[in-house]
Amino acid sequence: MYPFLFRHVLSRMDPETAHHAGMLVIRVLGAWPFAPLSRAFTRPDPTLRVRTLGLDFPSPFGVAAGFDKNVAGARGLGALGFGHVEVGTVTAIAQDGNPRPRLFRLVADRAVINRMGFNNHGAAAAAQRLEKLRRRRHRPVLGVNIGKSRVVDVAQATGDYVASTHLLAPLADYLVVNVSSPNTPGLRGLQAVETLRPLLEAVHAAAGPTPLLVKIAPDLPDDEVEAVARLAVDLGLAGLIATNTTISRENLQTDAAVVEAAGAGGLSGAPLKARALEVLRIVRTVVPASFCVISVGGVETAADVQERVDAGADLVQGYTAFLYRGPLWARQINRGLSALRAAG
């Protein structure tokens, strides 16, 4: 049913409007009396459990940051079978993000371009929702992704990240420093090791016992990927997420005029698959086995998830394919993983 719905209804809607409509359905699925039924239908097989970051994940497959920016649908996403939900990106100061339209489908590529600009209600609002959610008996593992507030100068970014950390780290199962979105001016410059080190040191100190990870861009040269990975290990971080969206527009099937009309922003989805896998392999060669690596980018099928696990990923995240696969996507992935592993 979902392919028909997407082709004839959702694909004709503004992508951001369609996303908000989908979130309403997800929130309903996470509430009584639907949540118990959803969990019974989508619960991952116990053989898929993963232990990493000092946490137990019911499945290696989770939702990447960007899908649930305001901690609105995390419970419903968990009920749909995702092993964890990474909320955000959250900024210390609430902000509207970039002007609409800012989300564009490239259907021929099963991809999306976004320039959302960290639109969110701010760290204080997210903290209130996380506190309520953590009191729930059934909730997914919760990662919190934090970024720089747009109104804060890059030179003052450390204090801005630390402010978010103080509010959110005590309520997060793990915390992620996002320095790799292409949609906040100057943000990716923070990935340079000489500027990233003091930022991560300060956030790590503020995060206390909460596992801290850093998220990097696929557009970094290989040697810089290695440098950031080594830095994360040197600072005692718990892990690294590879990768964010890309600014590349190479080898797309969508008409070039359509791509140009979409404009600037990060590209996600199937075209990112090869580079995301390559970055994962680079990272895994320079970090110890105990260091958690989460792979993101171009993941759509159970085979894709298993390929990332085989390449060294502890966990795998998806986002864009949700638009094309629909609400049973996590269930399909989990069942497919069980079948692949049973087949040997």
Q: Would you name the residues annotated as active-site residues?
A: 181
- Residue 98 annotated as part of some ligand binding site: no
Closest Cα to residue 27, out of 86, 87, 74, 96?
74
- Residue 132 annotated as part of some ligand binding site: no
- Residue 22 annotated as part of some ligand binding site: no
CB distance 112 to 103 below 8 Å:
yes
The full DSSP string for 126-192 is: HHHHHHHHHTSSS--EEEEEE---TTS-GGGHHHHHHHHHHHHGGG-SEEEEE---TTSTTGGGGGS
- Residue 91 annotated as part of some ligand binding site: no
- Residue 116 annotated as part of some ligand binding site: yes
Phi, then psi, of 177 in degrees rounded to 5: -90, 115
- Residue 13 annotated as part of some ligand binding site: no
Q: Which DSSP letter does residue 84 get? A: E
Round to whole Å and give the CA distance between 151 and 33: 42
First to last CA, the chain: 31
- Residue 183 annotated as part of some ligand binding site: yes
State how beta strands 55-57 and 50-52 pair. antiparallel
- Residue 1 annotated as part of some ligand binding site: no
- Residue 245 annotated as part of some ligand binding site: yes
- Residue 118 annotated as part of some ligand binding site: yes
- Residue 270 annotated as part of some ligand binding site: no
CB distance 191 to 217 below 8 Å:
yes
- Residue 251 annotated as part of some ligand binding site: no
Round to whole Å and give the CA distance between 137 and 121: 25
Three-state secondary-structure class, residue 215: strand
- Residue 246 annotated as part of some ligand binding site: no
Q: Which parts are annotated binding residues for FMN? A: 65-69, 89, 145, 178, 215, 243, 269, 298, 319-320
Binding-site sequence positions: 65-69, 89, 114-118, 145, 178, 183, 215, 243-245, 269, 298, 319-320
Q: Which residues are annotated as a binding site for substrate?
A: 69, 114-118, 178, 183, 244-245
